[in-house]
Amino acid sequence: MKWDIFCSVVDNFGDIGVTWRLARQLVAEHGCTVRLWVDDLGAFARICPQAHASQNQQVEQGVEVCQWPIDWKPVAAPDVVIEAFACTLPPAYISAMAARARPSLWLNLEYLSAEDWVQGCHGLPSMQSNGLQKFFFFPGFTGKTGGLLREGNLLVERDALQQNPLARQVFLRSLGVESQPDAQLISLFAYENSGLPEWFDALAGAAQPSHLLVPEGRVLADVQRWLGVEQLAAGHVHERGSLRVQILPFVSQQDYDRLLWCCDFNAVRGEDSFVRALWAGRPLVWHIYKQADDAHLEKLQAFLTLYQQDLPAPAHAALSEFWMAWNTGEGIAERWQNLQAWRAELAKHAEKTALKWASQVDLATALVQFYRNWL
């Protein structure tokens, strides 16, 4: 089975994050031959540090990663083509897909959403002018969607780290982190957020110490301003009251997973880190990618409705209010304090929900099944 995945990096790391993860899994678990076409190899090299941003063609972890050139050169079309997030394929390539004895299966991989309408649209075809059909493939949280990206051994590897204090310590040390036994460990991967200073104040003034791990990225300016320092970089550590802030390097996707598994609470953003934090089975907050007309808040609410099933009502309210505060930048500190009363329930719930969703078919397997059914 030959697959091509096309990825245009719109901004940040979500587009390449999802496609690189999917490409690896198709190779490792389904024996597919995969070419990943990316228009920004610089973004790819950030999440795959051993890759070379200047090399137009390279093989990484069994995936052929190619620069998507501005001037497209004809190549043979494979069995399956994934156009990630409606990135628009080169016209000559679409002709090559149609010209095959059996035309390529053309799938548009959509963004993740828990909204109801997704279940009705998942898998629908759309007839193209050249006679090819393009199918819309929606990731999601229910059996009527394409599922979530999850490697076959992910939860086993997670458990092995979470249940082994020494392995956890060794991993954290490899990032330069010495965890304090009584401190809660929190990771912070977020967009700029005007509400963060009051959260930092709350953590600094709390009775329990917190150790905040911040990978290098967009949120550093907010952290710098609050600390009153300049030019934060990986390795820097600052203490204010009960809060220790430590800046981490941007690491590979696999190491970022391990970091999420080690933390008591994860603040994540976008799409891919959000799903990884769900698999970590630890309490989390999602800084959702902002959209026009606050459409993202509806998406956030749709997810909360699903996530909070089976969560006792008062914990339910505390969690919703905290997530909304985080995403509007208002009242984060007060909502954080309210949330503390439900820490044990939220931890149990996060673990249970990860297990529940892991019993569904994962996205890579669903794609392979879709292809087999289509044949």
Contacting residues toward ligand TRH, per CB under 6 A: 10-15, 17, 47, 111, 189, 215, 250-253, 256, 269-273, 289
* Helices 343-358 & 313-328 angle (0-180, nearest 10): 90
Cβ 254 to ligand TRH, closest distance in Å?
Answer: 8
Alpha-carbon distances, residue 48 vs 24, 67, 255, 306, 322 (angstroms): 11, 15, 10, 32, 33
**From the CB of 51, what's the least distance to ligand TRH, in Å?**
12
Of 123 and 270, CB closest to ligand TRH: 270
Q: How far apart are CA 336 and CA 226, in angstroms?
A: 18
- 271 annotated active-site: yes
Q: Of 136 and 250, which CB lies nearer to ligand TRH in the complex structure?
A: 250
For residues 273 and 101, what is the distance between their CA atoms, to the nearest angstrom?
A: 40
Q: Is residue 64 annotated as part of the catalytic site, yes or no?
A: no
Tokens of residue 346, six digits: 């939220």
- Cβ 190 to ligand TRH, closest distance in Å? 9
Cα separation, 97 vs 93, whole angstroms:
6
CA nearest to 135, candidates 92, 80, 77, 96: 80
134 touches 128 (CB < 8 A): yes
Pairwise CA distance, residues 245 & 204, whole Å: 10
Closest distance between ligand TRH and the C-beta of residue 277, in Å?
9
Of 151, 222, 271, 272, which residue is the catalytic one? 271
Q: Which residue is nearest to ligand TRH (CB)?
A: 14
Select 222 or 271, whichever has its Cβ closest to ligand TRH. 271
277 or 311: whose CB is closer to ligand TRH?
277
**Residues with a known catalytic role:** 15, 271
